[in-house]
Structure 1
């Protein structure tokens, strides 16, 4: 059985992925209608699910980093690095705004987004992957530092 230091981040990541999907469908369904949300999901499900999964992985890695750090550092250092880690997580996750592409239509950019939606999803996936790689690098660095 896996230790709690791995279970808790994994569960948090899975819940974050699910929450992101629910928010996406709620926003798209509210902005347009739920039939449009269903069509968007049917047309772009590989991108949407990949982004949601990537978000979950990043949340799990973030939680794991915090657990590693809490276990080995005094509280004062955690406050400083926790704030830095939070800002890093926010910076890593800005690409998730691409999931809310239908909202851009409210700004009059519907035709641009419609034409390049798949490309925008690819850009978001690239940033997603880069964020995961960065967090894995930080995880390995911290793990080796504390061992």
Structure 2
């Protein structure tokens, strides 16, 4: 069900953008494993980018950037190790020597227009009220 998922637009200011849809249970399972979370998201975005004829994906969502940040410091071997851990946990499956199947229950990348109309209406209403991307409020500083 869509209410069990968290959606992240790649470009919140574009109507023709892709959206990462992650199940909330997957997010909770990976919250203490930032390398695995980054690897899962990176693999999903890589697969989506290869299917898009427009060219490379542009990410303008700070939340996705935050989740993907560990990929910038990981070596190729560390990313492959994270993918192996994801496979052991059922998030992905190795298909052949180079392929990876991503469990669509955990994460999928879809076109914005494929999302439920109610969710799109909520996003549009949030953008109209706030003048742009309806991001969650920043956490309050601790005393």
The structure with more helix, counted as a fraction of residues: 1
| TM-score normalized by the length of structure 2 | 0.27
- Greater share of residues in strand: 2
TM-score, length of structure 1 as denominator length: 0.27
